[in-house]
Amino acid sequence: QMPRGNLETVHHRALVLAQIRKWLNSCLYREAFECMRKLRINLNLLYDHNPQAFLDNVDLFVRQIDSVNYINLFLTEIKEEDVTTTMYPTHSASSVPSAQKSGAKKVDIICDVMRAAMEKLNPQKYCLSILTSYVRKTAPELETALQKVHELRESPPSPDAVSAEEALKYLLFLVDVNELYDHSLGTYDFDLVIMVAEKSQKDPKEYLPFLNKLKKMETNYQRYTIDKHLKRYKKALEHLSKCGPEHFIEFLNFVKDQNLYTEALKLHPVGSSEYKAINDVYGEHLYSRQHFEQAGLAFARCGSLEKALDAFVACSSWQHIVSIASQLKYSEDKMAALARSVSGKLREQRKYESAAVLLEQYAKDYEEAIILLIEGGLWEDCLRLIYKYNRPDIIETNVKPGIIEAKKNYMTFLEMQKVTFIRYKERLSVVRDLKEKARQGLLDDEIPGGLESDLFSDTSSVMTTSDMSGRYSHSNSRISSRSSKNRRKAERKKYSLKEGSPLEDVALLEALREIVRTVDTMRSDVNSLLKVLVLFLYDTDARELQQMYQEFLQLMEVSIQDIWVPCAPPNATLPVLGPHSTANSIMTSYQQQRNLKTAEQETEPFIAPKLSKTIQWKLDLLD
């Protein structure tokens, strides 16, 4: 008989729902409620049917229902779910706008308006329902509920009102006793705590000593202890900060233990001694996490200059280093030694300009500074120092050989890049042809397979970018910093340049793009080398370099249109410039592309790189 009964119910329910909707539209809440309760219709419908109407008539609702039990039932059954779309969908487009503005949750909205209505009508009568409305909130307001119970005990409003005892029992029925105990502790109200504790299964020998100990404490320290016990560390910190200087050591330890440095800083006036002490421990924390620069700042803020210096040295923040060393009144010798050591580190990081400033101005070692600038290819700075310190001899001994060396390195580098560029470009055209043939072959059903293996048959070997750029890392000029960057970049590549790999063409596009980018960004470096070559009368070398670079740039410019498809707005069959079509093509592709989001990062190799044609690097002098 079950199936038959079920079918009956289903059929029945459609009619019932129609009736309930009628009642709700006429604000006959009592009728609707009774019917829904009997036939187990989800009570959320009372609200979901027309949220705005419910909110407008909540007083009427409470008055009609007129039952603490019913209201508790309703509040307990409320969920975020909208049953008009899930359980009881209607096909008539009622389109009642949702009342949920400002991101507030349905449950919270209902609890709050119901409570307000009940408080207005009869707070004593609806006492338990009001408690329910606190407990049911998405973030249950247990403290407030407990406070209500406490009020009942302190000043019972009338003999027929709900007793504190009853209210607490009801709360314990809704909420786990341990949770309620913790929250009662969180009100810092010991009467309340004991009231709850008595209702619990807890052993008074356990909680009474603890409560007695707490009672003896100074208020802020007491609250800190409770918060800490409840793991409310931020609140605990706040209370502890009010306990005065005698607890400051404990405060600092607590900050360290709980990693609450930024919160701690906010609790003390900027510039106070406590503020400084917190910065100091924060600095140590940041240092241990290897956030050296921020550690340095934290130490510097609190005047821990030695520690700040250590931290700044660890991250080679050279300006801070010498600033702090000056504040520490370093002797000239000590400063020179420091500058020399930091300069060495900066040199390793190829920060030649800063390294040279340190040597020149803090170690007073002009010669070494000049040699560093030569190593870094910073010719103009290097000449400036040579003439500033009247050391023209260095021009013959170091600058000229340095220039010639740099020019050779540039030539070799450009030559290698060019060879690779041409090889990749040719290989790309081979791969494209093969794939096109394979496609046609598959379409014609003539060549059933084996064409893919043709991709392996071409024996011209393709070096990977990382192989190639690795060769230059011995050089000291600017090029090597670039090529070591390339190497790191190459290691991140997603596609394989290995012959016959399925996306070899994409890998080739990527590699070609990288070469174009690298060579294109050399414009100003080449220009600066050309100028110094010309200044020292190395016209032939300069002309060679200018021609080599010029030809390579031209080769790239001509090749770009063969290698890269111009990336028009997708859906390029629509005219691009018509007044309507642009928005349409965007819209269309937009919708098409939504699901292709993962393809987004794959597009970069397909976009033609742009040459920085506006940068003037050539010297007319050499034409």
Would you state the structure tokens that stand for residue 613, as one six-digit string?
């044609």
Per-residue b/e over 521-543, b at no fewer than 16 CB within 10 Å?
ebbebbbbbbbbbbebebeebbb
**Residue closer to a copy of itself, measured from CB, 86 or 327:** 327
- Contact status, residue 403 vs residue 536, Cβ threshold 8 Å: yes
**Residue closer to a copy of itself, measured from CB, 81 or 452:** 452
Per-residue b/e over 253-286, b at no fewer than 16 CB within 10 Å?
ebbbebebbebbbebbeeeeebbbbbbbbbbbbb
Q: Where are the beta strands (DSSP E) in 118-219?
A: none
Residue 613 Cβ, how far from a copy of itself at the closest point, in Å? 12
Give the range of 104-112, 236-244, 298-306, 484-492 binding a copy of itself by CB under 8 A.
298-306
Per CB under 8 A, the list member of 8, 250, 393, 452 interacting with a copy of itself is 452
Q: Report how far residue 115's alpha carbon sits from residue 141's, in angstroms, rounded to the nearest whole number.
A: 13
CA atoms lying within 13 Å on the CB side of residue 221: 14
Q: In the window 472-511, what residues touch a copy of itself (CB under 8 A)?
A: 502-503, 505-506
Q: Report how far residue 577's alpha carbon sits from residue 83's, in angstroms, rounded to the nearest whole number.
A: 49
Residue 510 Cβ, how far from a copy of itself at the closest point, in Å? 12
Closest CA to 375 of 485, 470, 479: 479
Closest CA to 60 of 104, 4, 7, 118: 118
Q: Report how far residue 154's alpha carbon sits from residue 148's, in angstroms, rounded to the nearest whole number.
A: 10
**Residue closer to a copy of itself, measured from CB, 46 or 434:** 434
**Residue closer to a copy of itself, measured from CB, 56 or 367:** 367
Q: In the window 506-545, what residues touch a copy of itself (CB under 8 A)?
A: 506, 531, 534-535, 537, 539
**Residue closer to a copy of itself, measured from CB, 441 or 470:** 441
Would you state the structure tokens that stand for residue 558, as one six-digit string?
């001509």
Q: In the window 162-221, what residues touch a copy of itself (CB under 8 A)?
A: none
**Residue closer to a copy of itself, measured from CB, 76 or 547:** 547
**Residue closer to a copy of itself, measured from CB, 271 or 401:** 271
User: Could you give the string, one character per residue 429-448, with x where binding to a copy of itself holds by CB under 8 A and - elsewhere?
Assistant: --xx--xx-xx--x------
Report CA 418 to chain centroid distance, whole Å: 40
**Residue closer to a copy of itself, measured from CB, 209 or 575:** 575
Q: In the window 570-609, what residues touch a copy of itself (CB under 8 A)?
A: 570, 572-573, 576-577, 579-580, 582-584, 586-587, 589-590, 592-593, 596-597, 599-600, 602-603, 606-608
Per DSSP, the three-state class of 422 is helix
The backbone region for 28, taken as left when phi is positive above 0, alpha when psi lies in -120 to 50, beta otherwise, is beta
In terms of DSSP H, where are the helices of 458-503? 465-470, 478-492
Q: In the window 326-345, what residues touch a copy of itself (CB under 8 A)?
A: 326-327
Q: In the window 259-288, what residues touch a copy of itself (CB under 8 A)?
A: 261-262, 265-266, 270-271, 275, 282, 286
Residue 11 Cβ, how far from a copy of itself at the closest point, in Å? 42
Q: In the window 357-416, what residues touch a copy of itself (CB under 8 A)?
A: 361, 380-381, 383-384, 386-388, 390
**Residue closer to a copy of itself, measured from CB, 39 or 328:** 328
Per CB under 8 A, the list member of 78, 167, 313, 322 interacting with a copy of itself is 322
